[in-house]
Structure 1
């Protein structure tokens, strides 16, 4: 402290060397002249020091509580309950079918095998549900105790608010709430705003369940690449039918599709009517190339053999029609889906279905390898309709699918997890690179992935196994 500033104040108190002089009030300021040329000032506060370390510890505990209790845990419980909700009616239906068949021979044995598998899956779900319930109960008890401790500590910290800033803020909030309530009682309620119609009748895509169906089908371990699912617009009498396409030649080509009258028939491998051939030889013109195929309206849509085109095979008339994609489209394994250390061969084109019909996802030289999405206009002769260009590189994704006009892309995380990381809304044109929905895989790779709007299921063909997941909407 400069002598010129201190000396007039201390002179009033008859400053002497080695004798402190104090002013009244709190905190106390003591001025002491150590020498004729130097004066020191001591500050003595009557208030307690604020416990900054305690506040930091409380903030850390609150953050830990938030990270421990997450929405994902609620989704896990919801997924398990959805699994039971789907399986129990199916079990009842299959038991009724067994009672009708009951011939003691082939059909009865098949139905018993299906029921045995369903009971085993239900038992697994019940075990997971019990374990999840116990874990959630223990977590709830810990969180309750932690919140009580946090509340007590926060009340202690409020004693340091000597100027009552926090109390005034709380009082202002109560007054504002009472004022709003008073206004709502006096003024007539405003008319509800007419919100625009949601593009998806189910709501917003929030998450997916754990595996609901897991089967090796009739060719366990034999064909690594393929696809399966349901027809979103089936022919009359085929509402419960499922279809499957397996790549029988070099894990690249196929020339037939198999159909099953029910999910149970697919699990035990009883196909009706067996192979529906596109062409007697394989591969040849207009047969299937790559695993990303779909069925819609009794027709199979796929990448034509050795062409940058979409083929449509009518299963009733056995007629194949095709539509070329834009010039510069990459095909013949030049624009594949990829994971960290390898690519999935001949996945240049991915066909997808949703509530509105059929889509094709591909890439072109003009787009420098980024994903391109086009609507396939339906009819005996398919045509390419409106097209959208995205900014996500195709080889950074492992698969794509479409839900309610929104394109989603996945990427490989590890052998047990796939992440839905990207979305593109065709209505708004908005992209999201941080979707953050995870798929629990039953095998390391997912060769094809397709959404079924009939039952809101996501069908995956994973290293020769067929797996399905329930799509959870808000």
Structure 2
């Protein structure tokens, strides 16, 4: 009996042991009273905030401000010109030139108004859309705040506000530094008064062959090259070139005797770092121009035969997207305009950030050249046909008719003053002026007009012109052949020296 009892007890113990749960299989159930944080909603709010920041920025406001400032400048000038036109009334016969000017001004004002209306509609649509987005974000953020039971975010926001107030308190006792001003200007010639001429009109050695190009003198010539002239013709599709042609004097240029001849940038045309567009200048023995297929200025050293580049700011328009224009057409590949004056080299261009308005930058010499101070204007580049610099002042022209161009705008880099009523007229020898270069060597304005090379005398208040007891010297040297004039002109002193001496007398 005893043995049976022991056996039964052992069997029962074995059964209980088998049924007991293993320690490795132990599981606990945790009940959390908080709801799950909606990460998808937070991501949606972040995306909406990022979109608002990209759509609403200072650039949008600046665009509207620039258009309003442009209208503010143009409308009083238009009213003044209309009053002047009424005074010119003579038995119902109005001054034709004044009518052309007013017609151009009306078109430009209408263009500004159209751009303003379009911009205002766009901004209104954007404002309505953004207001709706902000309201949705506000509701979602209020909902998300309910998950911050420990008020971590609220504490961080309070700390940020305190830090901001502390920084304002620290900086509030310090005076704000005044912005630096450019050095005062000093034009040795006095105030820009007028342009006379043309004084020289020639087609050179390629009559009617190359419609786009530029020519002039080096304001900072190398030794022995004081009287030299340079010529760049766009020889490929009226868009590109790969060399600069040199002449030992004005006489040599007129009769087509080039010495030392062509200085080639590259054997191919066009290719990397060759010339794109007609707006080029020569300064200090180097040619400055728009690099081929780049928003950049190239500097070609004529002696070393080397090219260095200056990249312009991001957003600079190039490849015929920011041209000079008039009512009928635009001048291809005039995105960048290089200019020289008494202080050196300048570049005039436009950017997407400036909404098509002219931007002016100083080009500092060096290898490579670098971008100096920059100024922004209120004049729309596509309403301008050409620009040039004289004594630190930017001048812009516009097309009046096939016989007349008007210098209508100026921007003084010393004072920042802008004028839309300069009112100096240029008598053209051809309908289109593709390039204008001011020469501080002799105060001449060199124009390249439909393959014609034309020069005008710039008159400043510091000059005392000789009384006009005889007609001004006008050298129309393009009518005869090079062979007929070669014997006489090449033996003469440079005829331009006579013109300069006549004006200085």
Match of 2:73 in 1: none
Match of 1:439 in 2: 426
1:339 maps to 2:323: no
What is the aligned length?
A: 285
Runs (5+) with no aligned partner, structure 2 = 1-86, 91-182, 462-505
Match of 1:464 in 2: 451
1:366 maps to 2:353: yes
Runs (5+) with no aligned partner, structure 1 = 1-61, 66-195
CA–CA separation in structure 2 for the residues paired with 1:303 and 1:443: 25
RMSD: 1.8
CA–CA separation in structure 1 for the residues paired with 2:363 and 2:197: 31
Alignment of 1:228-243 (within 5 A): 228-243=215-230
Which string of whole-angstrom CA distances, capped at 9 and with x for unpartnered residues, describes residues 226-273 of structure 1? 000000000000000000000000000000000000000000001111
What is the TM-score with the length of structure 2 in the denominator?
0.55
Match of 2:437 in 1: 450
* SS of alignment partner, residue 366 of structure 1: helix
What is the TM-score with the length of structure 1 in the denominator?
0.59
CA–CA separation in structure 1 for the residues paired with 2:323 and 2:184: 36
List 4+ stretches of structure 1 deviating above 4 A.
62-65
Find the structure with the greater CA-based Rg. Answer: 2
1:246 maps to 2:244: no
1:357 maps to 2:344: yes
Q: Which of 406, 411, 417 is the matching residue for 2:398?
A: 411
CA contact (8 A) 2:397 2:407 kept: yes
Alignment of 1:67-466 (within 5 A): 199-466=186-453
CA–CA separation in structure 1 for the residues paired with 2:281 and 2:422: 25
CA–CA separation in structure 1 for the residues paired with 2:440 and 2:185: 16
Question: 1:64: how far off?
Answer: 9.2
CA–CA separation in structure 2 for the residues paired with 1:460 and 1:225: 11
Question: 1:199: how far off?
Answer: 2.0
* SS of alignment partner, residue 282 of structure 2: strand
Question: 1:399: how far off?
Answer: 0.1
CA–CA separation in structure 2 for the residues paired with 1:323 and 1:229: 23
Which string of whole-angstrom CA distances, capped at 9 and with x for unpartnered residues, describes residues 26-68 of structure 1? xxxxxxxxxxxxxxxxxxxxxxxxxxxxxxxxxxxx9999xxx
Which string of whole-angstrom CA distances, capped at 9 and with x for unpartnered residues, describes residues 8-29 of structure 1? xxxxxxxxxxxxxxxxxxxxxx
Q: 1 or 2 for the larger relative contact order (CA 8 Å, sep ≥6)?
A: 2
Match of 2:169 in 1: none
Alignment of 1:19-98 (within 5 A): none
Question: 1:380: how far off?
Answer: 2.2
CA–CA separation in structure 1 for the residues paired with 2:448 and 2:89: 38
